[in-house]
Amino acid sequence: MADIALPSVEAKSSRSEVIAFVLMVGFFIVAPAFIYPVFLMKALCFALFACAFNLLIGYGGLLSFGHALYFGWASYLTAHSAKVWGFPPELAILTGAATAALFGLVAGSLAIRRQGIYFAMITLALAQMMFFFALQAKFTGGEDGIQAVPRGYLFGLVNLNDQTNMYITTLVIFLAGFLLIYRIINSPFGEVLKAIRENEARAISLGYKTERYKLMAFVLSATLAGVAGGTKAIVLQIASLTDVNWPMSGEVVLMALVGGLGTVFGPVVGAFVIIAMQNYLAQVGQWVTVIQGVVFVVCVLLFRRGIIGELANLLRIRL
């Protein structure tokens, strides 16, 4: 397997990653002092979402254009279980994540039957189908969504209605997800994934059941997207059609692309850039989609490595 592994600057690389990680955590600890915490929490949820998406494209080479399905349905199930069934927040988020995992398993086993752009179109079509179900199902509240989701008490103890507690919880969930993804990428499983991305036929000839690896990656990605969606539902106390509709799938692609596909920190940066754009450009509201489109075009033509990818390339380190 050694000959397929990505060429890398091993010794220096892990140090640069550790430094970047420490900087990132440091930033998130001091940030609430000068940035509005609700905005930060929302961005953290999307950062985890983008990281989960990136696991699939960046390391498995699979472009999913339907990740809103897992994000959105998880946020519905989390919201519904917290509000109607009275689940505590941790259990509600798990319910959402389990839903996403289940959908990921079904959609994934269909989608991996085709490669490349077909894969993208299939994931998009399946997501659109589930969007229509979400629209018609009673419990989702149609256009109104599920409102006033209670934040509740974490493990029955920590009051999440307190902004600081909620922030810490969100940060911990994000970091746990982030580290898990990092662990997956650098595990033997991750190495096989990268091998499949580079040359699937070769991986098959080496005896790997590539379909199984791809499906596994798909389910993992969907589940983590579900954790992000569930956490978002608790933080913003809302689950709505926006989360499950196709522009959301496009947005997460954009986040990963802007930050840098296949980089560890890229999706986080990308998510913050895009969410900040949406939030702080609301005064030019009508231009948001146009700007997003321009960013897409510019990234594809000029900055295919994304912000972090270009930076890593410049400094010759791994990020």
**Which residues in this chain contact another protein in the complex, by CB under 8 A?**
36, 38-39, 42, 63, 65, 110-111, 113-118, 120-122, 124-126, 128-129, 132-133, 135-136, 138, 141-145, 147-148, 232, 236-238, 240-243, 246, 250, 253, 257, 278-280, 282-283, 285-290, 292-297, 299-301, 304
Q: Report residue 170 as tokens.
A: 């969100």
Sign of CA dihedral 303, 71, 241, 172: negative
Task: Output 27 or 139, the one with its CB closest to another protein.
Answer: 139
Q: Which helix (H) or strand (E) holds 158?
A: strand 158-159
Rounded Cα distance, 287 and 282, in Å: 9
192: CB partners within 8 A, 6+ apart = 1, 203, 208, 213
Closest approach, Cβ 228 to another protein, in A, equals 13
Coil, helix or strand at residue 255: helix
Task: Output 20 or 42, the one with its CB closest to another protein.
Answer: 42
Alpha helices in 61-198 (DSSP H): 68-83, 89-111, 116-136, 163-185, 188-198
Closest approach, Cβ 21 to another protein, in A, equals 27
Task: Output 23 or 162, the one with its CB closest to another protein.
Answer: 162
Rounded Cα distance, 153 and 181, in Å: 27
Report which of 84, 87, 108 is spatially closest to residue 225, judged by C-alpha positions: 108
Task: Output 41 or 92, the one with its CB closest to another protein.
Answer: 41
Alpha helices in 186-265 (DSSP H): 188-198, 200-205, 210-236, 241-244, 246-259
**Long-range contact set of residues 81-86: C-beta below 8 Å, sequence gap at least 24:** 82/149, 82/150, 82/152, 82/233, 82/234, 83/146, 83/148, 83/149, 83/150, 84/139
